[in-house]
């Protein structure tokens, strides 16, 4: 067969033309005849009993459709993991912005007015707003002890270490909530009819999550629920679970009114009411030898899950498994938990727990270097995992990887040694201090442990009457390149031109459940299945002698038509098979956590301006080993975009909480970087292949989120000598730390070793 | 979008006389809208204080920039883009051209107007301190006639001005006598573009034989109104620029400003940065003065 | 005209959009964004924030880049407007479409219409922009997906190709 090189080439984005012409159809671009608009009445208190609901004067209430919890035909919950989150609050509310009533009307503006005149009286209940308050149990707001989930990872013998250690290094690190800030707000259109059931169209990542949630909410069988993904304007995890809620709401209104209902959030509502990244606190206590080798230690990692469990257990899981970073820990005890607070539930956001625990680990490494008296570079070299060694969960590294070499290359690309020396000299006088910092890290691709087995993904490829190939997956495109990459893989597998392959719009009546579009699993796991399913088409045709082993695209087309004429259809499915050598123990939290890890070293160069106390990132090097680069432009774009979001996480994006509610819920006051704020982001790849992914690809979508924040804060410490432990680091925070009265918690000079 | 358009009236007289007649007939009833970059944001949030809006975007008398031998007169509805593009503004009033370039992005500069920002009276507006140091005068106009008001007297309190219920700002005059000054502006926001200022400084100075002959300092976001730092100017005028002067300047700035904690920043940060910005200007003045 | 119109009276607003004469009946304080999307079915212009921060709603109004979420439709009366749908007729559009596709300038695509309009506006004012000009020209258009780098490259590439033509 002719060898094409579609995989690895910069083919045009499959839906790119529609995007650059404005023809791409997002949910708010769609109108259905007879459509109503829907809106949500939300709690204004963080925790309380609903005493009275008053429908205000001046509104013709008979024109409105009103839905409350009583209207829910099935279970009043958003089915996910623990099913503890109500779709609509009935008697109590557990967070501000919790949905209580739904309204629909033909006129969007009249709808808004009606929402504003509904007043609700609550009997306030004691509420908990921070991690500390939750742990201290000033009130029990969830379960018996405010704890959604906890994990314990143990390896070796931690208690024996402390006596032997030449150094014991402690640190406490914090990360704040972060808003995904997709430029397209959450939106959904729903239709209901008694015979066919519920249909929803919307902005979403996981059609089958929404499908499952609607089945439970409406007590409908699977064939009576249909979920269709529209073009989605950014997601980043923020549309992993939340769409189930807004879909449920729109569908309930559609059911009650008998008409289609469109619900589109405005920016203020979306920011205040929907999920954000889990805030975290990590405590490290590390036993280190005289020459800087980690002997072992204790890591405590706690995340704030908000008012309901939602995905917190899974975020906790990933944060737990990544807490030790890319280092060899002979012994370790990692104790983690997700706790409840009376805030809108936190949820998935690119990285999913790993950016939080890796921030702590990478700051801790620089701290260890200071205490031992060696450089941040050297401390990492002495502790990097190597093939054949085991991780904190005792997964033996069997893939090809060489962090030492990756680090050397990153240092060279960033001119680290020269700059470090130069900054040390040039920083002495003047208000501008420069610094350079590194972060080395890993990101596991796919669902943790037995997760992929549980997902049991199914992928299809079919051929239409004209002989064109179509990929059938529930994997959603939301900018990261799903459509393009999966079509590349199918085209390559079949030896056909990229143009001859299309991908079906994710519609649960058309595509099988290939799992959610999360966890950096699409290229690696779903891609591999697409490859298999495509090969299945080929095998069918060669088996029935309609096609030779080598063929042209015209011959392929002819063979397909012949087959379809004889058999009616030509389809092939491939189902996930867990690799035989991947074992995970859910109870001991031990074993092969991920089939593959991507490895990375990032370097950040910053300027700290002591006139304004602001930090600017001047240059950024992002080097990662990803198995195989399936599409150079898309892969580079993923890394650049992730780094940009992580720069926001480190320096700009602060959620301001007031009584359990986000008070800076506008783009004016929640600050994401503009085109004038970001450095050149220089992206480099290494490709060492991988046995599990299509063409050796490993996941890359989330990896870029893990490294920038610690690299930047390491650089800021390099520049200022101040040991910051908390992000976002705003100019106001830097200012407070540099005031002479700030006290002993900050050091005035760091020990610098030589690179 | 949290406002119902059907509840709002808009009139568009298209000429100054028509606009002023309406304002005279129904004083304080009609909210003027020029480029809408402030009004429409409030409107969309459902927070516009009036349901009646009068369009002044298309009134020719408000959109001209006149260059006279001793001053320039900027029509109140001149956009930030038109200021940036104007030759004399760029050459003789660089603080205004520079701060105009900091006001939102290009799309907002194409619509935002100087008069609109003045009337909106936010103490955080980027260009208002420049008007203070340039000794701007405003011409206010109504059916009763025109009156000239020094800009430094225009703001009387937080979002309060001397603008009468039947008046519009007609133009802003700037005397053409600042070409020989060292000028310096700096805005500190949460990011490099599209940011409301946390602190901003507009400064002019002249050095003669190593001493400060004239210095003009104005700041935004450090008081309920855009603030001219008269006391600090007094401390600096006539003095040679030495290390001790920097300390005296910082102390004076700290005493003169009244910053607050708000959703964007803290009073302590603003105070510290305000002092730093003035010190930075003094260094620039010293350096330029040494070269003069 | 009467100085005191009846409450909630709609206006007949006339303007050209993408070269075509249009007439709509709309409340004068309807946002131009909503009139374009809902009355004229031109859904290429997007709403991202409703407060003039994100630039997704950018259009050209009398050749000037504006945020259509901040323009009352009454002020568009008698003007000429260009949206992303009208870009097909614009000399720079094909160059930008191709360069955006080649360089990865569009990921999720929601900021793309506004971004392309801002790029057109920039290249009309500065045919050979330096990187700082590109950064400034696009500073009012937020992109959450790309980190901007590939957008800068796309704009620079289109500028170079236009000069070469």
Whether the predicted pLDDT of A711 surpasses 90: yes
A175, B55, B268 from A333: Cα distances, Å: 21, 68, 42
Whether the predicted pLDDT of A752 surpasses 70: no
A400 belongs to a structural domain: yes
C62 touches chain A (CB under 8 A): no
Res A299: pLDDT: 98
**H or E element that contains A122:** strand A118-124
CA B119, B34, B131 angle in degrees (round to 5)?
40
Confidence of residue A750 (pLDDT cuts 50, 70, 90): very low
Complex ipTM: 0.96
Q: How many domains does chain A have?
A: 3
What CATH number should be reported for the domain whose range is B182-291?
3.30.390.50
End-to-end CA distance of chain B, in Å? 55
- Count helices and strands (H / E) in chain A: 19, 28
Question: CA-to-CA distance for B100 and B110, rounded, in angstroms?
Answer: 10
* B22 interaction partners in chain C (CB closer than 8 Å): 3
Question: CA-to-CA distance for B49 and B44, rounded, in angstroms?
Answer: 12
Whether the predicted pLDDT of C93 surpasses 90: no
A39 belongs to a structural domain: yes
- Rounded to a whole number of angstroms, the distance from the CA of C49 to the nearest CA of chain A is 5
Residue among B6, B192, B272 whose CB faces A109 most closely: B6
- In chain C, the domains with their CATH numbers are 11-86 (3.10.20.30), 90-164 (1.10.150.120)
Res B4: pLDDT: 95
Whether the domain at B63-175 and the domain at B182-291 fall into the same CATH topology: no
* B104 interaction partners in chain C (CB closer than 8 Å): 52, 140
- The verdict on a CB contact (< 8 Å) between A674 and B192 is yes
C103 touches chain A (CB under 8 A): yes
Residues A308 and A85 sit within 8 Å (Cβ to Cβ)? yes
pLDDT in tens, A587-615: 999 999 999 999 999 999 999 999 999 99
pLDDT in tens, C45-58: 999 999 999 999 99
* C145 interaction partners in chain A (CB closer than 8 Å): 234, 479, 637, 641
DSSP string, chain B: --S-GGG-EEE---SHHHHHHHHHHSTTS-EEESS-TTHHHHHHTT--S-SEEEE-TT-GGGS-EEE-SSEEEEETT-BHHHHHH-HHHHHH-HHHHHHHHTSS-HHHHTT-BHHHHHHHT-TT-SSHHHHHHTT-EEEEEETTEEEEEEGGGTEEETTEE---TT-EEEEEEEES--TTSEEEEEEEESSSSS--EEEEEEEEEEEETTEEEEEEEEEESSSSS-EE-HHHHHHHTT-B--HHHHHHHHHHHHHH------SS--HHHHHHHHHHHHHHHHHHHHHHHHH-
- The verdict on a CB contact (< 8 Å) between C149 and A681 is yes
Residue A102 CB partners (closer than 8 Å, separation 6+):
A38, A39, A40, A41, A65, A66, A67, A68, A88, A249, A252, A253
A455 in the same domain as A443: no
B6 touches chain A (CB under 8 A): yes
With CA atoms as reference, the chain C residue closest to A19 would be: C109
**H or E element that contains A408:** helix A403-413
Residue range of the domain that includes A515: 16-24+451-575
The stretch A106-120 carries a mean pLDDT of: 96
A476 touches chain C (CB under 8 A): no
* C26 interaction partners in chain B (CB closer than 8 Å): 5
A418 in the same domain as A352: yes
Question: CA-to-CA distance for B176 and B134, rounded, in angstroms?
Answer: 9
The stretch A182-195 carries a mean pLDDT of: 97
Question: CA-to-CA distance for B151 and B131, rounded, in angstroms?
Answer: 7
* C142 interaction partners in chain A (CB closer than 8 Å): 183, 667, 672, 674
Residues A682 and A743 sit within 8 Å (Cβ to Cβ)? no
A286 in the same domain as A266: no
Whether the predicted pLDDT of A240 surpasses 70: yes
Domain finish residue from A540, A575, A610: A575
Phi, psi values for residue A111, rounded to 5° = -60, -45
- The verdict on a CB contact (< 8 Å) between C116 and A266 is no
A603 in the same domain as A553: no
Query: Residue A62's domain is classified under what CATH number?
Result: 3.30.365.10
Domain finish residue from A253, A273, A293: A273
A268 in the same domain as A284: no
C126 touches chain B (CB under 8 A): no
Residue recorded with tokens 């420069």: A434
pLDDT in tens, C37-89: 999 999 999 999 999 999 999 999 999 999 999 999 999 999 999 999 998 88
Question: CA-to-CA distance for C109 and A477, rounded, in angstroms?
Answer: 11
- CA C12 to chain CA centroid, Å, is 23
How many Cβ contacts (< 8 angstroms) between chains A and B?
69
Question: CA-to-CA distance for A197 and A219, rounded, in angstroms?
Answer: 10
Whether the predicted pLDDT of A744 surpasses 60: no
- CA A405 to chain CA centroid, Å, is 28
C35 touches chain B (CB under 8 A): no
pLDDT in tens, A550-569: 999 999 999 999 999 999 99
Question: CA-to-CA distance for A351 and A441, rounded, in angstroms?
Answer: 12
- The verdict on a CB contact (< 8 Å) between B105 and C141 is yes
* Nearest alpha-carbon partner for A28 in A153, A209, A184: A184
What is the percent of chain C where pLDDT is above 70?
Answer: 95
A754 belongs to a structural domain: no
Residues C118 and B106 sit within 8 Å (Cβ to Cβ)? yes
Residue B251 CB partners (closer than 8 Å, separation 6+):
none
CA B221, B223, B224 angle in degrees (round to 5)?
100
Residues A238 and A274 sit within 8 Å (Cβ to Cβ)? yes
A161 belongs to a structural domain: no
pLDDT in tens, A488-537: 999 999 999 999 999 999 999 999 999 999 999 999 999 999 999 999 99
pLDDT in tens, C118-149: 999 999 999 999 999 999 999 999 999 999 99
Residue A427 CB partners (closer than 8 Å, separation 6+):
A433, A434, A719
A191 in the same domain as A47: yes
Tokens of A436: 């350079």
Best of A272, A732, A734, A738 to substitute, by most chain B Cβ atoms within 10 angstroms, is A732
> Which DSSP category does A3 fall into?
P
Question: CA-to-CA distance for C29 and B10, rounded, in angstroms?
Answer: 7
> Length of chain C, please?
165
* Nearest alpha-carbon partner for A174 in A650, A755, A580: A650
Residue recorded with tokens 């540099």: A738
- CA B61 to chain CA centroid, Å, is 20
* C70 interaction partners in chain B (CB closer than 8 Å): 35-37, 40-41, 108, 111
Confidence of residue B44 (pLDDT cuts 50, 70, 90): very high
Question: CA-to-CA distance for A376 and A365, rounded, in angstroms?
Answer: 7
C58 touches chain A (CB under 8 A): no
Question: CA-to-CA distance for A697 and A598, rounded, in angstroms?
Answer: 9
Residue A500 CB partners (closer than 8 Å, separation 6+):
A468, A469, A491, A553
Count Cβ atoms below 10 Å from residue A546 Cβ, excluding itself.
19
What is the percent of chain A where pLDDT is above 70?
Answer: 97
* Nearest alpha-carbon partner for A13 in C105, C110, C116, C96: C105
Neighbours of chain C (3+ CB pairs under 8 A): A, B
* A739 interaction partners in chain B (CB closer than 8 Å): 272
Res A2: pLDDT: 47
Pairing of the two strands B211-220 and B227-228: antiparallel
Residue among C49, C106, C109 whose CB faces A267 most closely: C49
Neighbours of chain B (3+ CB pairs under 8 A): A, C
> Length of chain A, please?
755
Confidence of residue B288 (pLDDT cuts 50, 70, 90): confident
Tokens of C37: 């999307």
Residue among C50, C118, C136 whose CB faces B1 most closely: C50
Q: To 10 degrees, what angle do helices A482-494 and A527-543 make?
A: 30
**Mean pLDDT across chain B, nearest whole number?**
96
Helices of type H across A219-311: 242-257, 267-273
* A101 bridge partner residues: A41
With CA atoms as reference, the chain A residue closest to C40 would be: A29
C118 touches chain B (CB under 8 A): yes
Res C88: pLDDT: 82
**Mean pLDDT across chain A, nearest whole number?**
95
Domain boundaries, chain B: 5-55, 63-175, 182-291
Q: How many CA atoms lie within 13 A of C68 on its CB side?
A: 32
- The verdict on a CB contact (< 8 Å) between B263 and A664 is yes
Count Cβ atoms below 10 Å from residue B216 Cβ, excluding itself.
23
A210 in the same domain as A120: yes
pLDDT in tens, A190-229: 999 999 999 999 999 999 999 999 999 999 999 999 999 9
- CA A138 to chain CA centroid, Å, is 31
DSSP string, A527-552: HHHHHHHHHHHHHHHHHTTSS-SS--
Domain finish residue from A273, A302, A327: A273
Tokens of A644: 């940009």
Res C7: pLDDT: 54
Tokens of C68: 């259509």
The stretch A178-197 carries a mean pLDDT of: 97
Map A210-240 to HEC letters: HHHHHHHHHCCCHHHEEEEECECCCCCCCCC
A471 in the same domain as A430: no
Phi, psi values for residue A597, rounded to 5° = -120, 140
A481 belongs to a structural domain: yes
- Architecture per CATH, B63-175: 2-Layer Sandwich (3.30)
Question: CA-to-CA distance for C118 and C114, rounded, in angstroms?
Answer: 6
The stretch A537-543 carries a mean pLDDT of: 95
Residue A415 CB partners (closer than 8 Å, separation 6+):
none
Res C90: pLDDT: 86
Whether the predicted pLDDT of A745 surpasses 70: no
Question: CA-to-CA distance for B206 and B286, rounded, in angstroms?
Answer: 10
Residue recorded with tokens 């506008």: A666
Residue among C103, C112, C143 whose CB faces A19 most closely: C112
Residues B220 and B226 sit within 8 Å (Cβ to Cβ)? yes
A426 in the same domain as A293: yes
Res C8: pLDDT: 64
Neighbours of chain A (3+ CB pairs under 8 A): B, C
**H or E element that contains A154:** strand A147-155
A93, A95, A99, A138, A194 from A127: Cα distances, Å: 11, 9, 18, 8, 41
A751 belongs to a structural domain: no
Res A449: pLDDT: 82
Residue among C31, C64, C74 whose CB faces B10 most closely: C74
């Amino acid at each position: 067969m002719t060898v094409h090189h579609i995989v690895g080439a910069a083919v045009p984005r499959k839906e790119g033309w529609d995007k650059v012409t404005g023809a791409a159809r997002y949910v708010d671009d769609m109108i259905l005849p007879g459509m109503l608009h829907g809106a949500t009445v939300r709690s204004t208190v963080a925790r309380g009993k609903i005493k009275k609901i008053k429908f205000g004067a001046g509104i013709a209430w008979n024109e409105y459709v009103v839905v409350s919890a009583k209207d829910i035909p099935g279970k009043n919950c958003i089915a996910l993991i623990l099913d503890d989150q109500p779709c609509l609050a009935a008697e109590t509310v557990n967070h501000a912005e919790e949905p209580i009533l739904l309204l629909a009307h033909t006129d969007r503006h009249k709808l808004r007015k009606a929402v504003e005149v509904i007043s609700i009286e609550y009997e306030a209940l004691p509420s908990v707003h921070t991690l500390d308050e939750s742990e201290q149990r000033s009130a029990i707001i969830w379960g018996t002890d405010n704890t959604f989930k906890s994990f314990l990872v143990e390896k070796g013998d931690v208690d024996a270490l402390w006596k032997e250690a030449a150094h014991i290094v402690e640190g406490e690190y914090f990360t704040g909530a972060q808003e995904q800030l997709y430029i397209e707000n959450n939106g959904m259109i729903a239709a209901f009819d008694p015979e066919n059931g519920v249909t929803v169209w919307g902005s979403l990542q996981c059609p089958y999550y929404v499908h499952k949630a609607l089945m439970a909410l409406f007590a409908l069988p699977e064939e009576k629920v249909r979920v269709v993904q529209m073009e989605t304007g950014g997601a980043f995890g923020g549309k992993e679970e939340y769409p189930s809620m807004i879909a449920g709401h729109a569908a309930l209104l559609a059911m009650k009114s008998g008409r289609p209902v469109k619900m589109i959030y405005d920016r203020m509502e979306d920011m205040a009411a929907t999920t954000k990244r889990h805030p975290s606190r990590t405590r490290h206590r590390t036993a280190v030898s005289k020459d800087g080798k980690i002997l072992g230690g204790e890591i405590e990692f706690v995340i704030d899950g908000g008012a309901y469990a939602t995905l917190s257990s899974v975020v906790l899981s990933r944060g737990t498994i990544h807490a030790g970073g890319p280092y060899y820990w002979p012994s370790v005890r990692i104790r983690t938990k997700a706790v409840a607070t009376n805030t809108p539930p936190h949820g998935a956001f690119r990285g999913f727990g790993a950016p939080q625990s890796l921030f702590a680990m990478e700051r801790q490494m620089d701290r260890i270097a200071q205490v031992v008296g060696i450089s941040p570079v050297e401390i990492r070299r002495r502790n990097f995992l190597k093939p054949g060694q085991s991780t904190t969960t005792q997964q033996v590294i069997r893939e090809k990887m060489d962090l030492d070499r990756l680090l050397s290359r990153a240092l060279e690309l960033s001119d680290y040694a020269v700059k470090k020396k130069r900054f040390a000299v040039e920083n002495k006088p003047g208000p501008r201090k420069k610094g350079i910092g590194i972060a080395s890290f890993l990101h596991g691709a796919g669902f943790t442990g037995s997760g992929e087995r549980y997902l049991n993904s199914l992928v299809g490829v079919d051929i239409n009457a004209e002989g064109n190939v179509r990929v059938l997956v529930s994997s959603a495109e939301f900018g990261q390149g799903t459509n393009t990459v999966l079509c590349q893989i199918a085209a390559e597998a079949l030896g056909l031109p990229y143009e001859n392959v299309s991908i079906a719009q994710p519609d649960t009546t058309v595509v099988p459940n290939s799992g959610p579009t999360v966890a950096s699993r699409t290229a690696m796991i779903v891609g591999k299945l697409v490859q298999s399913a495509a090969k299945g088409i080929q095998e069918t045709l060669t088996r029935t002698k309609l096609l030779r082993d080598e063929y042209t695209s015209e011959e392929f087309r002819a063979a397909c038509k012949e087959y379809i004429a004889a058999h009616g259809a030509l389809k092939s499915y491939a189902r996930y098979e867990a690799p035989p050598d991947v074992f995970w123990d859910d109870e001991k939290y031990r074993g092969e956590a991920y089939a593959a890890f991507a490895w990375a070293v990032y370097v950040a160069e910053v300027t700290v301006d002591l006139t304004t106390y602001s930090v600017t990132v001047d240059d950024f090097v992002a080097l990662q080993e990803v198995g195989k680069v399936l599409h150079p432009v898309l892969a580079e774009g993923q890394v650049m975009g992730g780094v940009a979001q992580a720069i926001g996480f480190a320096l700009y994006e602060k959620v301001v909480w007031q009584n359990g509610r986000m008070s800076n819920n506008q783009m004016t006051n929640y600050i994401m970087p503009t085109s004038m704020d970001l450095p050149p982001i220089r992206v480099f790849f290494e490709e060492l292949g991988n046995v599990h992914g299509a063409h050796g690809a490993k996941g890359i979508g989330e990896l870029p989120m893990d490294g920038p924040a610690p690299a930047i804060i390491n650089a800021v410490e390099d520049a200022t000598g101040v040991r910051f432990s908390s992000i976002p680091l705003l100019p106001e925070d830097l200012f407070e730390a540099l005031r002479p009265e700030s006290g002993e918690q900050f050091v005035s000079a760091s020990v610098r070793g030589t690179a | 979008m949290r406002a119902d358009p059907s509840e709002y009236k808009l009139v568009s007289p298209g000429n100054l006389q028509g606009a002023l007649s309406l304002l005279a007939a129904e004083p304080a009833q009609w909210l003027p809208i020029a480029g809408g970059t402030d009004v429409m944001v409030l409107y969309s949030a459902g927070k516009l204080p009036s349901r009646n809006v009068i369009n002044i975007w298309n009134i020719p008398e408000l959109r001209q920039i006149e260059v006279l031998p001793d001053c320039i007169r900027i029509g109140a509805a001149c956009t930030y883009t038109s200021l940036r593009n104007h030759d004399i503004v760029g050459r003789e009033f660089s603080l205004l051209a520079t701060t105009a370039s900091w006001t939102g992005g290009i799309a907002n500069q194409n619509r935002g107007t100087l008069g609109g920002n003045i009337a909106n009276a936010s103490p955080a507006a980027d260009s208002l301190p420049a008007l203070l140091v340039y000794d701007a005068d405003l011409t206010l106009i109504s059916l009763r006639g025109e009156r000239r008001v020094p800009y430094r007297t225009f703001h009387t309190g937080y979002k309060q001005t001397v603008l009468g219920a039947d008046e519009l700002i007609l133009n802003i005059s700037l005397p053409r006598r600042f070409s020989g000054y060292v000028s310096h502006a700096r805005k500190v926001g949460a990011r490099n573009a599209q940011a409301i200022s946390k602190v901003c400084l507009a400064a002019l100075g002249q050095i003669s034989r190593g001493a400060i002959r004239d210095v003009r300092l104005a700041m935004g976001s450090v008081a309920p109104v855009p603030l001219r730092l008269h006391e600090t100017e007094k401390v600096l005028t006539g003095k040679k620029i030495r290390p001790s002067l920097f300390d005296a300047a910082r102390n004076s700035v700290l005493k003169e400003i009244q910053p607050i904690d708000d959703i964007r920043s803290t009073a302590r940060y603003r105070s510290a940065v305000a002092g730093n910005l003035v010190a930075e200007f003094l260094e620039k003045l010293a350096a330029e003065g040494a070269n003069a | 005209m009467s100085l005191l119109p009846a409450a909630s009276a709609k206006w007949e607003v006339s303007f050209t959009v993408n070269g075509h004469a249009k007439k709509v009946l709309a409340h004068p304080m309807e946002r131009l964004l909503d009139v374009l999307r809902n009355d004229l079915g031109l859904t290429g212009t997007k709403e991202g924030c409703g407060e003039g921060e994100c630039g997704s709603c950018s259009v050209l109004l009398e050749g000037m880049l504006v945020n259509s979420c901040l323009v009352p439709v009454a002020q568009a009366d008698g003007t000429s407007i260009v949206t992303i749908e009208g870009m097909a007729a614009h000399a720079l559009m094909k160059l930008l479409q191709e360069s955006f596709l080649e360089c990865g300038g569009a990921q999720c695509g929601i900021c793309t219409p506004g971004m392309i309009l801002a790029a057109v506006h920039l290249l009309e004012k500065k045919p050979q922009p330096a990187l700082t000009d590109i950064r400034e020209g696009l500073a009012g258009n937020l992109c959450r997906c790309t980190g901007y780098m590939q957008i800068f490259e796309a704009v620079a590439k289109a500028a170079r190709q236009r000069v070469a033509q």
